[in-house]
Amino acid sequence: MTSAHSALSVFVTGTDTEIGKTFVSSALLRGFVREGLQAAAMKPIAAGAFVLNGELHNEDADQLDAASNVLLPPEMRTPYLLKEPAAPHIAAALENVAFDIEHIVACHRQALTRADVVVEGVGGFRVPLTATRDTADLAVALKLPVVLVVGMRLGCINHALLTAEAIAARGLTLAGWVANRVDPNMTFPDENIASIREHLAREHHAPLLGIVPHLSPASAEVASERLDIQRLLQTLRDAQR
């Protein structure tokens, strides 16, 4: 059991969808566990659910649970679980669901009484949730440092720098970024990583927390060994002071 004051938490966002945000979040959870933390996952909004043994499941949420050593009740881990695998505001409209960011914040507050929490956002940083609010508003409401997952593929430098700028514009701390090698055939990956690293260090003082190779089969455990978990935890502790 951990107190809400000392529990650590981080918000994981990505440069786009399908860039390995859940995979890197799972790797962070494995790293937290390895460092002796009580680690739990939140995926506040998940679109694309299926029924298994009479219960709604989501592949991403299940992956995150598998990497955790504390399991939150499903309604706390994923307050909004939608069936349609579409952009959240579209899926929500189809299912007549209204996202309440304050409800997610309350669930997160409860989660912090049980564990250190990795919160995985939905899609990229500015994915709309309602007509007026987006994922960035959720990160702000949670008041969490952000880890940016950059899917290493053509166009990633622009995506990374724009997202980092959007994070800073909301007054949030970019705790670091992870280069995830989603495209094994990408040309000049090292040069791309070096460019992003230089820009994000200079403009946002955000360190590269690690480079996750293209793993087949995917292994959150192996990926976690490529991440500087101790550095991230120190940043999260400093942010609490």
Q: What is the pLDDT of residue 241?
A: 85
Pairing, β 80-82 against β 45-47 = parallel
Q: What is the pLDDT of residue 122?
A: 93
Q: What is the pLDDT of residue 6?
A: 86
Q: What is the pLDDT of residue 240?
A: 87
Q: Which of 179, 150, 193, 176 is nearest to 233 (CA)?
A: 176
Q: Which of 233, 239, 238 is nearest to 33 (CA)?
A: 233
* Residue ranges in the chain modelled with pLDDT below 70: 1-5
Q: What is the pLDDT of residue 59?
A: 96
Q: What is the pLDDT of residue 144?
A: 97
Q: Among the options 21, 43, 83, 143, which is catalytic?
A: 43
Q: What is the pLDDT of residue 227?
A: 98
Select from 1.10.357.10, 2.20.25.90, 3.40.50.300, 3.90.180.10 the CATH code of 9-240: 3.40.50.300
Convert the pLDDT of each residue in 190-210 to its tens digit: 999 999 999 999 999 999 999
Is 143 tagged catalytic?
A: no
Q: What is the pLDDT of residue 172?
A: 98
Q: What is the mean pLDDT of the chain?
A: 96
Q: Taking the domains of the chain in order of start, what are their residue ranges?
A: 9-240
Q: What is the pLDDT of residue 73?
A: 97
